[in-house]
Amino acid sequence: MEPTKIGRYEVEKELAQGGMGIIFLARDPYIQRQVVIKVLMYSRTLDVVYRDYFQQEAEVIAALEHPCIVPIYDFGWYGEQPYIVMRHMGGGSLADRLQKEELKQTQIAHIFKRLAEALDAAHARNIIHRDVKPSNFLFDSTGDIFLSDFGIAKSRTVKDDDGTWLVGTPAYMSPEQVLGNPVDGRSDVYALGIVLFRLLSGQLPFSNDSVTALINAHVDMPIPDIRSVKSKVPSVWQEVVAKAMAKDPNDRYPTAGDFARDVTEVVSGKWYLRKL
């Protein structure tokens, strides 16, 4: 049964359920504002690992306090279930928006600038997001975008077809994530490269019903040419995507900010001047 109150917060409705938590829209009666509450599923409370991951997300975001990261307002316990209270992002996710419209390149440049600032701030504290994807990019009511969901900044796992545990979302995992090697901020840059490919072409670079085949593609398969998916995309974008998604982290952009700078320069035309 859906709760009517969580702590002092008055629950208005359930918004979604994920692998670890249930998301509610609620109201804070003290200051009369809407908030979002993420509650760890009761079935997960029996495992201390999940409880630790959940509290870790709150601690990570609270420590970052960045204007491009969805802020945490509160943390508490609903019986045996921990919960996180966050700012309500009334504009939905980038994934939601992509189902309705194709973004202009100027919009893409603005989005990448903000996301890069958030990621670089996290990387400066040795925090790797590990799950960079459109559903974790949220818009506020004014249209600005924010990075969310640091629940696996240390660890979170999914299983491949053989039952092996992996960290991240298979469609956006870097080769080093797939191989279980140490990761740094360039792993998030790789995932951001996949996001750019998706925004420009309307498709993911790699897709497969088999999780094992999908993750192996990140390691073994060459990066598809965006123009083979959408012929009208200028060739310059393939250079940018290819650098972001290089198999070897040393061949990628060193920071998300460097990546976002090139995105902005392509959109503004400065890229071509630099190449002259």
Nearest of 55, 38, 28, 45 to residue 81 by alpha carbon: 45
- Pairwise CA distance, residues 25 & 225, whole Å: 41
Question: Would you call 131 a catalytic residue per the annotation?
Answer: yes
> Residue 263 has which token pair?
């995105």
- Which helix (H) or strand (E) segment is 149 a member of? none
Continuous H helices in the chain = 48-64, 94-98, 105-124, 175-179, 185-201, 211-220, 226-229, 236-244, 256-268, 270-275
CA distance 82 to 84: 7
Q: Which of 52, 96, 120, 131 is catalytic?
A: 131
C-alpha pair distances (Å), 18 with each of 60, 100, 231? 20, 22, 36
Residue written as token pair 């279980």 = 180
Catalytic positions are 131
